[in-house]
């Protein structure tokens, strides 16, 4: 296994210290800040099966989003706990608040990462929080987060390995076409020059992903985690630029509202940035 430089780890840091990383656009792993979350004791495989196992979920093969299976959450967790496949099914990007809104009461978004989008009216506010449940060997392909937002991810069960590449390395990572954990250097020779940062996230750890950073995640064990994306003064210019002229593919992939609503969103974000009332 390649030895990569490690992402900085902070234990119960001050808001000011984390803000230094956010404004500098540097990944960071935060420890010791989720002990009070009910999710730490409720979001276990057995409890999730017991309380939410009746819910129907859609899972996809990690290598392709086109191979989809629908089953109960209980049956999926049973599968994931025992999966021994090279390309397992993964429950990723589950917008759980529609199926199980009480899960929102089980954690508290970290104070380090406030998001202006939470103040938008319901009709134009995007849903930027997801639950991820998957077996060892599952994970996400290399990508940049939606609409150039930043994100935090908290693991409540299991262990995840993260690789990060700076935005300036886009050409070296072939705009995310490479499997960073198992690169094909014949097909992607320039990837040999790419320089990654790495961290291993355990239960209770929070990982911050800055705007524009390419990243790939692999579950080392069965895992349960929650992610929220955010926009604020740290990334407003990148997000607004992305929203001003979204491609048709972007509109379809992220289910963006129409142009008029996008204009409203941008205006409100800019007002926040200017500290003026929207």
pLDDT in tens, 212-267: 999 999 999 999 999 999 999 999 889 888 877 777 776 666 666 565 566 667 67
**Overall average pLDDT of the 3-16 stretch:** 97
Percent residues over pLDDT 70 in the chain: 90
> What is the reported pLDDT for 277?
45
% of the chain exceeding 90 in pLDDT: 75
pLDDT of residue 274: 62
pLDDT in tens, 133-147: 999 999 999 999 988
How far apart CA 20 and CA 34 sit, in angstroms, is: 21
Task: Report the mean per-residue pLDDT for the chain.
Answer: 91
98 membership: H or E segment, kind and range: helix 96-99
CB atoms within 10 A of CB 27: 19
Question: Is the confidence at residue 272, as pLDDT, over 70?
Answer: no
pLDDT above 90 (res 25): yes
Q: Tell me the mean pLDDT in the region 142-169.
A: 96
Q: What is the predicted pLDDT for the residue at 27?
A: 98
> How many other CB atoms are found less than 10 A from the CB of residue 13?
19
Q: What is the pLDDT of residues 93-129, one digit of tens each?
A: 999 999 999 999 999 999 999 998 888 778 778 889 9
Q: What is the mean pLDDT of residues 172-184?
A: 97
CA nearest to 39, candidates 127, 102, 128: 102
Average pLDDT of 35-52?
97
Q: 188 Cβ partners below 8 Å, 6+ apart?
A: 174, 177, 178
What's the CATH architecture for 8-235?
Sandwich (2.60)
Per the DSSP assignment, residues forming a β-bridge with 147 are none
| DSSP element (H, E) containing 218 | strand 214-219
- How far is the CA of 27 from the CAs of 23, 235, 237, 271, in angstroms? 11, 14, 19, 27
């Amino acid at each position: 296994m390649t030895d990569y430089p490690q992402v900085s780890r902070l234990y119960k840091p001050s808001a000011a210290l984390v803000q230094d990383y956010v404004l500098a656009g540097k990944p960071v792993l935060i420890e010791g800040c989720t002990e009070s979350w009910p999710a730490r004791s409720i979001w276990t495989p057995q409890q999730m099966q017991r309380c939410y196992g009746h819910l129907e979920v859609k899972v996809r093969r990690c290598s392709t989003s086109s191979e989809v299976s629908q089953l109960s959450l209980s049956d999926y967790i049973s599968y994931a706990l025992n999966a021994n496949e090279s390309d397992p099914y993964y429950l990723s990007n589950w917008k759980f608040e529609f199926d199980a809104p009480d899960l929102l009461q089980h954690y508290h978004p970290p104070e380090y990462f406030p998001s202006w989008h939470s103040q938008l009216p319901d009709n134009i506010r995007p849903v930027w929080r997801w639950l991820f449940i998957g077996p060892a060997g599952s994970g996400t392909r290399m990508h940049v987060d939606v609409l150039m937002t930043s994100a935090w991810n908290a693991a409540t069960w299991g262990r995840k390995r993260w690789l990060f590449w700076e935005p300036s390395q886009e050409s070296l990572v072939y705009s995310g076409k490479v499997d960073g954990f198992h690169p094909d250097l014949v097909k992607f020779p320039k990837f040999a020059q790419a320089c990654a940062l790495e961290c291993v996230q355990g239960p209770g750890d929070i990982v911050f992903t800055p705007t524009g950073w390419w990243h790939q995640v692999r579950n080392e064990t069965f895992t349960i985690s929650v992610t929220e994306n955010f926009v604020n003064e740290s990334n407003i210019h990148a997000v607004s630029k992305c929203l001003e002229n979204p491609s048709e593919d972007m509109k379809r992939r992220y289910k963006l509202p129409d142009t008029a609503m996008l204009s409203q969103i941008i205006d409100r974000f800019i007002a926040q940035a200017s500290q003026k009332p929207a």
